[in-house]
Amino acid sequence: MKKDSVDDILTRYFAPDADAGDLAKQVLTAARESARQTSRLLDRISIQATPRGVSLIRAERLEKPASAAARRLAERAREELSEYFEGKRAFFSVPVDLTETPDFQKKVLAAARAIPFGEVRPYAWVAQRIGHPRAVRAVGTALGRNPVPFIVPCHRVLQTGGGLGGYFFGTDVKSRLLSLERVTPIYEGCTSTRIICRVGCVHGRHMRPDNRVVFASVDDARSIGYRPCKVCKPQAA
């Protein structure tokens, strides 16, 4: 039998996996890339807050929060965002202040917040959920004006066919956030306390890296003797 393109495909498919040199090289390239991207994104962001919560996250320079309480919240949001971009946080605990936001947009943002970490939904799903199934375009506009991107995850809303749609910080950032969420776990346990938390819980910060185990569900963790954290309540996630 003559060697042809099918032979090549079969050879590649059944070949032993890429050799160690290649694998190491790929990982090293990814390591350089990941460090660069995280710091770049965080440097671009300005955060405005009121004493009630974070009120605006934008790429341009914003006025400093007026009160000390507001400054603390803005600072906390920056910390949480930094952890999120590093894949060490799967939820935000800092409050948001949407009192200035119109009612329709508030509903849209609340629907977006209901999309679980790491998952995506179409614009039409959001429209359906807020009881205005035909207002898909208005939903898109409302999400496009999301005052607190990242924290209210408008990046998890895509076009029905799977297209990215728009994004305030550009579609490349949107797709990077989705990839980031695909590789960030949401439950982690500590082997010394036998407690399971949501990734990003305050307990996780004090956990030694070699005490960290990832779980697929709270029930899995329970089945081997871990209990849910009382602070972050992972069973409600």
Partner 1 sequence: MDEERRLMGRVARGDEAAFTELVARYGGRLRGVARRLLGSRADAEDAVQRALLQCYLGAGTYRAEWAVSTWLYRILTNVCVDELRRRKSRSGEIEPPARPDPPDAHLDLRRALGGVPTEARVLLALRYVDGLTYGELARIRGISVNTVKSQLQRGKSLLKSALVKGGAV
Catalytic residues: 154
Minimum distance from CB of 222 to partner 1 (Å)?
A: 10
Q: What minimum distance in Å lies between the beta carbon of 70 and partner 1?
A: 34
Minimum distance, C-beta of residue 207 to partner 1, in the bound complex (Å): 11
Cβ–Cβ < 8 Å for 167, 146? no
- The nearest distance, CB 184 to partner 1, in angstroms, is 8
Indicate the residue among 76 and 212 with the shorter CB distance to partner 1: 212
In the complex, what is the shortest distance from the CB of residue 116 to partner 1, in angstroms, rounded to a whole number?
A: 7
Binding region for partner 1 (CB under 8 A)? 17-18, 20-21, 23-28, 30-31, 34, 116, 118-119, 182-183, 185-187, 189-191, 194, 208-217, 220, 223-225
Nearest to partner 1 of 92, 226 (CB atom): 226
If the CB atoms of residues 202 and 214 are measured against partner 1, the closer one turns out to be 214
DSSP track, the chain: ----HHHHHHHHHHSPP--HHHHHHHHHHHHHHHHHHHHHHHHT-EEEEETTEEEEEESS--PPPSSHHHHHHHHHHHHHHHHHHTT--SS--S-B--TTS-HHHHHHHHHHHTSPTT--EEHHHHHHHTT-TT-HHHHHHHHHT-SSTTTS-GGGEE-TTS-----TT-HHHHHHHHHHHHTS-SEEEETTTTEEEETT-HHHHTS-GGGEEE-S-HHHHHHTT-EE-TTT-GGG-
**Torsion of the alpha carbons at 29, 32, 38 and 41, rounded to the nearest 10:** -90
Q: Are 123 and 157 in contact (CB under 8 A)?
A: yes
Compare residues 28 and 69 and give the one whose CB is closer to partner 1.
28
Q: Which is nearer to partner 1, 167 or 187 (CB)?
A: 187
